[in-house]
Amino acid sequence: MDLERLAGKAGSILAMFSSVFQTEQGFDVQKGLLFASGLAGYACHQAVKSTGGLFVVVETDDHKKYYMGDEVNKYLLEGQYSVLSFCVGFCTHAAPGEPVPDVLPLVRKAAAVLGSGEYRIWNKYPPAYVFGEIKNCWDGIYENMTAKYCESPEEWPVLFGIVLQNMMSVAAKVIKPEEAFRLAMECALYISKMDEESV
């Protein structure tokens, strides 16, 4: 895995965020973190789809489908280059000596509230709304950035994991590192389980 190449390309995505999420008050950190973490989760889902991987599909009573399983977790939660590993790396750097937050409660919460009225990102955003925004962003940058910067779909979660790690560093100027970790992993977890049939 060529992390140096992907880190350089992640800088271009962060520069795009810097211009798109500017307000009169300055950079909108919350929106930047929402999009960076949402894209990281979306990249995990899309990597599984693009490589022909298998999902464990859960259908709710209202016939919405959510996508789980080891193949998504490989990109999101497991291994040296998972999205979680980049979030842990951020915490280790931003709060040296402090324990890294445990992701397991976030995983359990996401599974417990799947498809219910409590299934809201940051207790605020309906996941269907966030999914739509993230999908539009992904589609908008896919040809000029994602596909151009990555040599294979397996690199997509790594690229956006690096983007997220950098965005968490920006967010840590206004929120605590453990809160940046919680927000980032919660959004990435929720969006990684979603597809068009989830909304």
Give dist(CA 8, CA 123) in Å, integer: 33
State the pLDDT at residue 112. Answer: 81
Give the phi and the psi of residue 192 in degrees, each rounded to 5: -65, -20
For residue 42, what are the domain limits? 3-198
What pLDDT digit, counting tens, does each position of 133-163 carry?
999 999 999 999 999 999 999 999 999 999 9
Residue 104 pLDDT greater than 80, yes or no: yes
- Mean pLDDT value across residues 5-18: 92
pTM of the model: 0.94
Number of C-beta neighbours around residue 117 at 10 A: 7
What pLDDT digit, counting tens, does each position of 48-75 carry?
999 999 999 988 888 889 999 999 999 9
Residue 115 pLDDT greater than 80, yes or no: no
- Answer for the pair 142, 155: CB distance below 8 angstroms, yes or no: no
State the pLDDT at residue 171. Answer: 92
Residue 116 corresponds to which tokens in the numbers above? 């219910």
State the pLDDT at residue 21. Answer: 87
Residue 117 corresponds to which tokens in the numbers above? 């009225």
State the pLDDT at residue 118. Answer: 76
- Answer for the pair 58, 65: CB distance below 8 angstroms, yes or no: yes
Between 32 and 199, the more confident residue is 32
What pLDDT digit, counting tens, does each position of 154-193 carry?
999 999 999 999 999 999 889 999 999 999 999 999 999 9
CA distances to 64, 93, 128, 148 from 199, rounded to whole Å, are 7, 37, 5, 29
Q: For 150-181, b where at least 16 C-beta lie within 10 A, e where not — what string? A: beebebbbbbbbbbbbbbbebbbeebebbebb
- Mean pLDDT value across residues 119-143: 93
What pLDDT digit, counting tens, does each position of 90-100 carry?
999 998 989 98
State the pLDDT at residue 18. Answer: 87
State the pLDDT at residue 3. Answer: 83
State the pLDDT at residue 142. Answer: 95
- Considering its fold, how many domains does the chain have in total? 1
Residue 12 pLDDT greater than 90, yes or no: yes
Picking from 197, 127, 147, 172, the residue whose alpha carbon sits closest to that of residue 47 is 147
Q: Categorize the per-residue pLDDT at 28 as very low, low, confident or very high, splitting at 50, 70 and 90.
A: confident
